[in-house]
Amino acid sequence: MTDPAPSFSEEHLADRLFQALVHTLELFGVYLGKRLGLYTTLHAHGPLTPGGLAAAAGIAERYAREWLEQQAVAGLLAVDDAGKPAAERRYSLPTQHVGVLVDPDHAAHLAPFAEMAAGIGGALEHVVGAYRSGGGVPYEAYGAAFVSGQGGINRPAFQQDLTGAWLPAIPDLHHRLAADPPALVADVGCGVGWSTLALARAYPRARVVGYDADATSIAEARARAAAAGLTVRFEQKAAEAVEGPLDLILVLEALHDMARPTRALAALRAALAPGGTVLVADERVSERFVAPGDTVERMMYGWSVVHCLPVAMAEQPSEAIGTAIRPEVVQRCAREAGFARCEVLAIDNPLFRFYRLRA
């Protein structure tokens, strides 16, 4: 019996892993820049020397110099004259990098990926143990960095696209949310609350409640609502504990992380008012398993092996779906939960697929 043909040559695979190492280390550099406020300092006060950054950001000058040099070598920062003595070089954040690294509401703001990577790095030994035991890793084990990163990476879409594009693409829901009597809405798996607050702002007549099982996320969401002056209620509850009757229940990028999504959907169906809808947004992976996969598929499986599957398996018994949640899986869960209809919506998005569930 012969081995199947490899997908890559030895040289190509070795180079790919080397590049992955470089990119991972650069992500950690981005984490430092975000965590220590170095990008925002440069954006506000740059160009700066290492001493200037150290003084403005409150860090040690030797570390400031090394980070600035690394960021310039990586092409994330610009340096005025590489030939100057190290202490005299002035560094700046290019205008075209501000959205990616500084502006949290920009569609291209991907710096929170660095926080998620840092959170996963801190939990990897727990993941190793889960692989050996067959158990899981609780969400809390990934730490505050992951919570911040997950909230930050979804923030632009949840604050802008949810109410500016996704819901308006479903006219009857869009009109119901804006009408009287007030629609009762639950945002299940709301995380740090960006989607819930966006709903409250866009549809002031609706009564919106955010639910999440993670205490840290709920505390952050409540603080954010108070700072924004919005009287939005957030409750630490799992999907199975949500109470109705509700006109709309949103489950945004959360179904695949649930240990028992079918049971959760059954509970949400029971909480619906007559004519109500459960709107699910989850990963737009391929409709069937394909290997090798494209970049999106690779990313989704990357999250799955180190985070989403271990988190789903932290509670037993678990359906253990993982990040690669395909349409047939959502439709099966909906059908077994008692929904009569599970419609895949024609909403164009490169990362999310949308489902409307009706009883």
pLDDT digit string, tens, across residues 173-204: 999 999 999 999 999 999 999 999 999 999 99
What digits encode the pLDDT tens for the residues 65-118? 999 999 999 999 999 999 999 999 999 999 999 999 999 999 999 999 999 999
CATH number of the domain located at residue range(s) 10-99 in this protein: 1.10.10.10
**Domain(s) of CATH 3.40.50.150: residues in the chain:** 153-291+317-358
Homologous superfamily, domain 153-291+317-358: Vaccinia Virus protein VP39 (3.40.50.150)
| Contact in structure between 334 and 327 (CB atoms under 8 Å) | no
Place 8 in a pLDDT band, splitting at 50, 70 and 90.
confident
DSSP element (H, E) containing 278: strand 272-283
CATH 1.10.10.10 maps onto the chain at 10-99
Higher pLDDT, 250 or 231: 250
Averaged over 348-359, what is the pLDDT?
96
The per-residue pLDDT for 52 is: 98
What is the reported pLDDT for 2? Answer: 45
* Confidence at residue 328, expressed as pLDDT on a 0 to 100 scale: 97
Mean pLDDT score of the chain: 96
Beta-bridge partners for 353: 282
User: How far is Cα 206 from Cα 183, in angstroms, rounded to an integer?
Assistant: 5
pTM assigned to the model: 0.92
Question: In the chain, pLDDT over 70 holds for what percent of residues?
Answer: 98
> Is the pLDDT confidence value at 312 over 80?
yes
Tokens read off for 27: 């992500």
Q: Among 231, 233, 241, which residue's Cα sits nearest to residue 210?
A: 233
